[in-house]
Amino acid sequence: MKESEILPAIDASPYNHPMTQAAPALSDSLLAAARAIGAVETGQSLTEALLEVRPDLRPSAQSLSFYAMRHWGQAMALRRLLLDRVPPNPTVFALLGLSLLLLEVALSDPAERDATAPTYTAHTLVDQAVQATQGQRDTLNFKGLVNAILRRFQRERAALLSQLEQDLEAQYNHPKWWIEALQAAYPQDWKRLLETANVHPPLTLRVNLRATTREAVEQAFAAAGIAATPFGVAGLVLDVPRAIASLPGYAQGWWSVQDAGAQLAAPLLELKDGMRVLDACAAPGGKTAHMLELAALKLTALDIDNARMGRVEQNLERLGLLNDDVELIAESAMRAHTWWDGKPFDAILADVPCTASGIVRRHPDIRWLRRFTDLKPTAKLQREILDSLWSLVAPGGKLLLVTCSIFPQECELQAQAFSKRHTQAVRLPAPGQLLPCLANAEQPAGQDGFFYALFSRQG
């Protein structure tokens, strides 16, 4: 499937890799991270690229590449200033960007540093970046180039940084088209949205209330020395993010990883035991599981991606939610004639594919992978999926449109156009556009960007 269909995966969190092994050599980590970043620069998702990294290097490569993606506007601008030709090797090109960012951290005033930045001395960094070019045959010839560029940055740092001051991409670390789209849609909030996108997300869980209680999970966490704050009906946000595997109750299915914004979807459908429900774009199953935790449903979960559908099965199995009333089908929501038994659904969840512009703090590579030209075809695909699904809703039944986007074309404008096309659709109260926000007194977990529109079908 296209990258535009990426989603807030249940287990794609940066906290999923326990940092328990001895630290590898920095040069090896730099090279592994550069390979992953180089893959992003040629269109692959960072999550996929990191899966190709040697397991012992993956945690360090992940933390370096995540940091880099959050600062890649600055890295690209510096590279443009310092390089008069692009090296014909994407890994070396990425290594230069990554090393420049880390060298900038090393040379900056410690009091002004981003607390999450990986910090090394300038000497170590230059030495290890040069060393990294010696790690593979295809990068061997670039030792001199990396050394020269990093040393020039050390000498000319102040002048180079001053040239970045007017560069919006370098300042906000998002592509120019993305910044302009947010300026147009959110004239008051665009700066805050861009800044929030570069903050580390919290680790947010949803307790499986079919399997246990939130109090029991809190007690198990407390016994293991893990502090967590409750929110909403079943949410817990960890005070300090940890490796998922180190938390009590994962294997027992006591909880799932799910952003606070995503936890609003299932309750909006007011599910009751026995209802016929369709989860039309289900994988990897975060909201499917939540719906099954809320009521004993006759549920069909559908996703066009067969491999991702396998993850729905694994997740439901772990949570103890698979039973004879749950049907999992790998098919398109737009090919109902191949899978629908003709009985209308009381509720349909349409968590349609989108640019994922609301979840960039969890997937910082997304902003660099998307193009402005993705918006139109993605909105068209959403429209076609929604129109196909509408004919499957029972009279009095509900359709919930969800996206993890903050671009209006995939959100409010999509919902308004849907209302216009379908005169039997009555728009019901729903949260609408939720903008990404940091933790605050009302929302201790903060949230990613989501959009919700709820429609009921007049009889």
Ligand X SMILES: C[S@@+](CC[C@H](N)C(=O)[O-])C[C@H]1O[C@@H](n2cnc3c(N)ncnc32)[C@H](O)[C@@H]1O
Q: Which of 206, 276, 287, 367 binds ligand X (CB under 6 A)?
A: 287
Contact 285, 315 (CB under 8 A): yes
Which two three-digit tokens encode residue 215?
Answer: 């109090």
449 lies in the binding site for ligand X (CB under 6 A): no
If you search the block for the tokens 């103890």, which residue do you land on? 320
448 lies in the binding site for ligand X (CB under 6 A): no
Contact 448, 359 (CB under 8 A): yes
Q: Which of 281, 326, 369, 406 binds ligand X (CB under 6 A)?
A: 281
Beta bridge partners of 427: 455
Q: Which stretch binds ligand X (CB under 6 A): 132-140, 187-195, 277-285, 339-347?
A: 277-285
**Which amino acid appears at position 298 of this protein?**
K
Q: Which of 33, 257, 282, 321 binds ligand X (CB under 6 A)?
A: 282
266 lies in the binding site for ligand X (CB under 6 A): no
Q: Which of 132, 304, 360, 411 binds ligand X (CB under 6 A)?
A: 304
Q: Closest distance between ligand X and the C-beta of residue 34, in Å? A: 29
Q: Which is nearer to ligand X, 67 or 451 (CB)?
A: 451
Q: Which of 71, 308, 362, 457 binds ligand X (CB under 6 A)?
A: 308
408 lies in the binding site for ligand X (CB under 6 A): no
- Tally the C-alpha atoms within 13 A of residue 458's C-alpha that lie toward its C-beta: 7
92 lies in the binding site for ligand X (CB under 6 A): no
Q: Which is nearer to ligand X, 47 or 171 (CB)?
A: 47
Alpha-carbon distance of 259 to 295, in angstroms, equals: 21
Alpha-carbon distance of 51 to 44, in angstroms, equals: 11
Contact 405, 355 (CB under 8 A): yes
Contact 194, 174 (CB under 8 A): yes
430 lies in the binding site for ligand X (CB under 6 A): no
> Where in 341-380 is the site for ligand X (CB under 6 A)?
351, 353
Spatial neighbors of 211 by CB under 8 A, at least 6 apart, are: 252, 253, 254, 319, 320
410 lies in the binding site for ligand X (CB under 6 A): no
77 lies in the binding site for ligand X (CB under 6 A): no
Give the orientation angle of helix 143-163 with respect to helix 72-82, to 10 degrees.
Answer: 110
Q: Which of 284, 358, 364, 444 binds ligand X (CB under 6 A)?
A: 284
Let me know if 437 is a catalytic residue: no
Q: Which is nearer to ligand X, 281 or 401 (CB)?
A: 281
Q: Which stretch binds ligand X (CB under 6 A): 55-63, 184-192, 199-207, 281-289?
A: 281-289
146 lies in the binding site for ligand X (CB under 6 A): no
Q: Which is nearer to ligand X, 285 or 397 (CB)?
A: 285
**Which amino acid appears at position 226 of this protein?**
I
Q: Which of 281, 354, 404, 411 is catalytic?
A: 404
* Closest to 241 measured CA to CA, from 458, 451, 446: 446
The H-assigned helical ranges of 164-210 are 168-172, 176-185, 190-196
Q: Which stretch binds ligand X (CB under 6 A): 113-121, 127-135, 190-198, 285-293?
A: 285-293
Q: What is the DSSP code (8-state) at residue 435?
A: P
Q: Which of 14, 73, 285, 446 binds ligand X (CB under 6 A)?
A: 285
Strand ranges in 345-423 using DSSP code E only, listed in sequence order = 345-351, 393-403
Q: Which of 305, 346, 410, 448 binds ligand X (CB under 6 A)?
A: 305
Number of helical (H) and strand (E) elements in the chain, helices listed first: 17, 11
> Where in 193-222 is the site for ligand X (CB under 6 A)?
none
CA angle, residues 154, 152, 83, in degrees to nearest 5: 130
Q: Which residues does the annotation mark as catalytic? A: 404
- List residues binding ligand X (CB under 6 A): 1, 5, 7, 280-287, 302-305, 308, 332-334, 351, 353, 385
